Structure 1
């Protein structure tokens, strides 16, 4: 599409035109007026057409910019919503990991059973070492 550049036209003066008497040998003023009038109307209509095209272009650009602004607004809202849910998702993940670690730790009953088994095994092993000794180091200290 070819770019149409506006032409710079000097504004028409609002003062009434100054009429100068034509030379005696020239055409009569009545003959000049009709020829100048269509040319001015033609130029005015071209200016109006150019102004209308410029207004249409402006309206199209304005519509495009309005749609782009609305699209950016929607995108920004989606990003804000996603950022908010990502934070909650990360916190939920950390809480779930912490909960699984807590669930994996032994409870009080398990700790008491482990302590009791350890104590009983320690007593049994101590009695066996005292009775039979450690081979190569010392003999049994208790009578057999």
Structure 2
């Protein structure tokens, strides 16, 4: 069955509407009203569209309810985890923290200080200059000829 999409009908233009003249009230003869026909049955296509729209709405509402339930469970789980973290933070073992801080302090004390770093930098600079002069004076066989006499 082909899917029927809802459409919006455009109103007829004023030129297309036929003009009906008003009859003279004196010439009217009272006529007994015929029994009014039952209300016209709604268009089946319109009812079909309406039922599809209602079904889609129901599916969307169900999906929203599922998402809401999932988010509620996630929120509850997050709240439980936060309470556990708070409880764990309150009962921390301060002795183990003291041991970790002292171990970290000993590692920091074992790192080289400024004098050691400056000495290493000076030795590296001197060796670099000496090696550069040697390469320029004697060259590198197969790579670079000697450049200094």
TM-score (norm 2): 0.37
Taking structure 1 as the reference length, what is the TM-score of the superposition? 0.39
Q: Report which of the two structures shows the higher radius of gyration computed on alpha carbons.
A: 1
Greater relative contact order: 1 or 2 (C-alpha under 8 angstroms, separation 6 or more)? 2
